[in-house]
Amino acid sequence: NQIEHGVIIAPPNATAEQTRLANESKIRDLKVKNYLFQAIDRTILETILDRDTARDIWESMRRKYQGSTKMNTLQEL
């Protein structure tokens, strides 16, 4: 799961396979961030736009809204 594991970063002097996996991870993360941006209310969105990864966004929202109806609905998605 992209949110649980975060983005894979290729090490210095990475092999072609490590670079490919890191690039795929970054693309998946961008897709998840896009989905989150589309699903989140604009007032909430303004507070998370500075987060770097989907995991950062999710953790920020989880900390702020844990237990709320909106958060429970997002978790079901």
- The string of pLDDT tens digits covering residues 5-61 is 788 899 999 999 999 999 999 999 999 888 888 888 888 887 788 888 888 888 888
- Asked whether the predicted pLDDT for residue 72 surpasses 60, the reply is no
Handedness of CA 11, 16, 19, 21 (dihedral sign): negative
In sequence order, what are the residues at sequence separation of 6 or more whose Cβ sits closer than 8 angstroms to the Cβ of residue 4? 55
Distance of CA 2 to the CA centre of its chain: 7
**Tokens linked to 59:** 């953790």
Predicted local distance difference test score (pLDDT) of residue 16: 96
- Asked whether the predicted pLDDT for residue 75 surpasses 70, the reply is no
Where in the chain are the domains? 2-76
Rg of the chain in Å (alpha carbons): 14
If phi > 0 it is left, if psi is from -120 to 50 it is alpha, else beta; for residue 57 that is alpha
